[in-house]
Amino acid sequence: MGGAAMWPTHLAAKMAAQGSSRKLILLWMPGGPSQMDTWDLKPGHGNGGPFQEISTAVPGMKFSEHLPQLAKLAKHLAIVRSMRTQEGDHSRGTFLIRTGKRPGQPFRYPAIPAAIAKELSPPQAATPGYVSILPNSFINPPAFSAGFLGTAREPLTVAGNSAFDPQQAPAASSENDEPVELKVDNLLPPSDLDSQRIQRRKEFWSLLQESYGAARRGGAPATHDTIYRRAMQLAESDLIDAFDLSQEPDDVRRRYGSDAFGQGCLMARRLVERGVPVVEVSLSDGLGGLSWDTHADNFTAVKRLSERLDRSWSQLMIDLESSGLLQDTTIVWMGEFGRTPVINPNGGRDHFPNAWSCVLAGGGVAGGAIVGKTSDDGMEVVDRPVSASDLLATICRAVGVDPETENMTEDRRPIKIAEGSPLTDLLA
């Protein structure tokens, strides 16, 4: 696999010099996307389905016809076609791919975005290290948490309009579509409080905290104090503008797509522009559904989802490249597993963790690369199987974080961020 090789010295020096300028955007695909209908098609085989392959800007790299804009940007993409994780349950698979650990462990392991945010965000940063847009955490809440890193490392959550129905979302936004509104609950103080009253409340709170916390500097009181102070810093910072998408021109909002995922990608761009190191956007619109769980009518659903993904992700990369931020921003596309090559009687594909795909792009990634291969029928990995830990270690390296960095559990046991072998030929 080549992952056992040492990280090249020149690359280590380069990443260390870049430091906290590095960013991560995780595009989370809940439900398990069908690799057979996105990144690893099998044209001509009975398992292949009706979708056609298209050529991309990278010779030899082909993927779905429903991702034409991403095909033009393929020089930025690296596809891993040989994921093998062996957890075919949504909850267990989600925990494994996001933490590198199987469920049922004795520790509350942090999700990889939280662990990376800790390394990329200064300890006293006024801005949050990790923002999660439209999180789909109901399937396994611990898989989306900061675990033993503590409450202060939990993500800031952005929710969507609860009236929005992702199943009715148009594949492409029309000129008349009103963009879905995204919001952070309680980001600003109540409108009936003037600045003087707010300041007096803050002073009184600080007085109480100082008298109470003098003898209680650790544990829950310290966490509570940290969260409140950061919340107040955020409310008074320029970052709050990043959450106000109405500041963007209407044509820009429509280019990203008026659906919640499109607006989430636009918000992710605005957040990394303002220094937030880790942003996650879920293609689920925050309503609790597993969008890619296509046990029935797979091809209708995947076509619709792919068109939304193609529009929003491609615009995100175009804007990041034009601003010079793409070279420092790693983008990861993944779900908890893939879908069966065999099409079931309902025209769907079922859970399949044995041979599936994920994609990395942008900063720290060798664009145009393809790692691994599956058999002609898609049923097994025939070259370079990649585990969840290998993938997480690769993501760490791409953003300039040493995966062997250790964090301490509550009982002072050192735990590495990721224990796998990075895919060194995917690293720029």
Give per-residue pLDDT as tens, 145-170.
Answer: 999 998 888 999 998 654 334 443 43
What pLDDT, on the 0 to 100 scale, is given for residue 161?
Answer: 56
What pLDDT, on the 0 to 100 scale, is given for residue 143?
Answer: 96
CA distances from 236 to 174, 198, 232 (A): 36, 11, 6
What pLDDT, on the 0 to 100 scale, is given for residue 74?
Answer: 98
Q: Kindly report the average pLDDT of the chain as a whole number.
A: 87
- pLDDT-derived band at 92 (thresholds 50, 70, 90) equals very high
Q: Provide the residue ranges of all domains of the chain, joining segments of one domain with +.
A: 9-188+242-426
What pLDDT, on the 0 to 100 scale, is given for residue 232?
Answer: 72
What pLDDT, on the 0 to 100 scale, is given for residue 37?
Answer: 98
- pLDDT-derived band at 136 (thresholds 50, 70, 90) equals confident
Mean pLDDT within 80-94? 97
- Does pLDDT of 349 surpass 60? yes
> pLDDT tens for residues 358-389?
999 999 999 999 999 999 999 999 999 999 99
As given in the structure block, the two tokens for residue 158 are 């952005």
C-alpha span between 252 and 26 (Å, rounded)? 21
Closest of 142, 139, 148 to residue 337, by C-alpha: 139
| Secondary structure of 339-374 in HEC code, one letter for each residue | ECCCCCCCCCCCEECCCEEEEEEECCECCCCEECEE
CA 119, chain centre distance (Å):
16
- Does pLDDT of 185 surpass 80? no
As given in the structure block, the two tokens for residue 103 are 């469920």
**Considering the entire predicted model, what is its pTM?**
0.88
> pLDDT tens for residues 260-295?
999 999 999 999 999 999 999 999 754 457 999 999
What pLDDT, on the 0 to 100 scale, is given for residue 218?
Answer: 63
Fold of 9-188+242-426: Alkaline Phosphatase, subunit A (3.40.720)
Structure-derived torsion over alpha carbons of residues 29, 34, 37, 39, reported in degrees to the nearest 10 = 70
